[in-house]
């Protein structure tokens, strides 16, 4: 929780020190929406989540924000021998809470505005893993916080937002599966419209 508060403090300090403010758009806005997550790695299945992202329009084309995102994903692997008999199987479920400082650049000044951006921050993860072999089974849980970043791009259609993000989490040594994930986002923007 202290890390989240530190991120909020840094964001607020950055907005307060900004000399510029958007000329044609309202200063504050909040993005809300849902996402479909596609994790990398063998056996990855997918997941879903939601996000909220308060933002400040520094200029007409640049917005700074704080992304808070929560997602749950599942994955599994089944291995068999040459005769088709089960040798091992492994299944896991992961929940992620993401807290990032973000920056977006909006191209153009019309109702349809493509954008590209980047987020930097923390990923709080919890994973439960169930391994089964021919002779035994084991259940394990793991929790941790890692640094990561997320390049992104999308389209703002009025107040409707479509986005694509790739979340890269550093410092993970996990054979099943990679916790990096691609997310398809659909949401809307509250505020931030033309003045």
Q: What is the CATH number of the domain that holds 122?
A: 2.40.160.20
Q: Tell whether the model's pLDDT for residue 1 goes beyond 60.
A: no
Q: Provide, for the chain, the percentages of residues in helix, strand and coil under a 3-state DSSP scheme, each rounded to the nearest 5.
A: 10, 70, 25
Q: Tell whether the model's pLDDT for residue 56 goes beyond 60.
A: yes
pLDDT in tens, 101-135: 999 999 988 889 999 999 999 999 887 777 666 56
Range of the domain at 37: 2-191
Rounded distance between C-alpha atoms, residue 85 and residue 192, angstroms: 58
Which token pair is 179? 């916790």
Buried b (16+ CB within 10 A) or exposed e, 122-159: bbbbebebebbeeeeeeeeeeeeeeebebebebebeee
Structural domains in the chain (count): 1
pLDDT in tens, 67-93: 999 999 887 766 666 666 655 667 778
Rounded distance between C-alpha atoms, residue 161 and residue 101, angstroms: 19
Residue found under tokens 């758009």: 25
Q: Tell whether the model's pLDDT for residue 16 goes beyond 50.
A: no
pTM above 0.85, yes or no: no
pLDDT in tens, 19-47: 566 788 888 999 999 999 988 766 667 89
Backbone angles phi, psi at 173, to 5 degrees: -115, 85
């Amino acid at each position: 929780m202290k890390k989240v508060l530190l991120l909020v403090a840094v964001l607020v300090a950055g907005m307060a020190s900004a000399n510029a403010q958007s000329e044609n758009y309202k200063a504050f806005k909040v993005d809300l929406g849902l996402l479909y997550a596609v994790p990398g790695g063998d056996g990855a299945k997918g997941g879903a989540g939601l996000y909220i992202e308060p933002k400040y329009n520094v200029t007409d084309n640049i917005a700074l924000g704080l992304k808070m995102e929560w997602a749950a994903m599942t994955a599994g692997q089944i291995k068999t021998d040459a005769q088709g008999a089960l040798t091992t199987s492994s299944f896991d479920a992961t929940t992620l809470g993401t807290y990032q400082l973000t920056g977006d650049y909006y191209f153009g000044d019309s109702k349809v505005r493509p954008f590209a951006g980047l987020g930097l921050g923390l990923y709080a993860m919890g994973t439960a893993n169930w391994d089964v072999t021919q002779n035994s089974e084991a259940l394990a849980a793991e929790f941790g916080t890692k640094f990561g970043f997320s390049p992104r791009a999308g389209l703002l259609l009025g107040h409707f937002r479509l986005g694509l993000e790739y979340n890269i989490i550093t410092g993970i040594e996990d054979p099943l599966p990679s916790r990096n994930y691609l997310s398809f986002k659909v949401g809307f923007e509250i505020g931030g419209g033309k003045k």
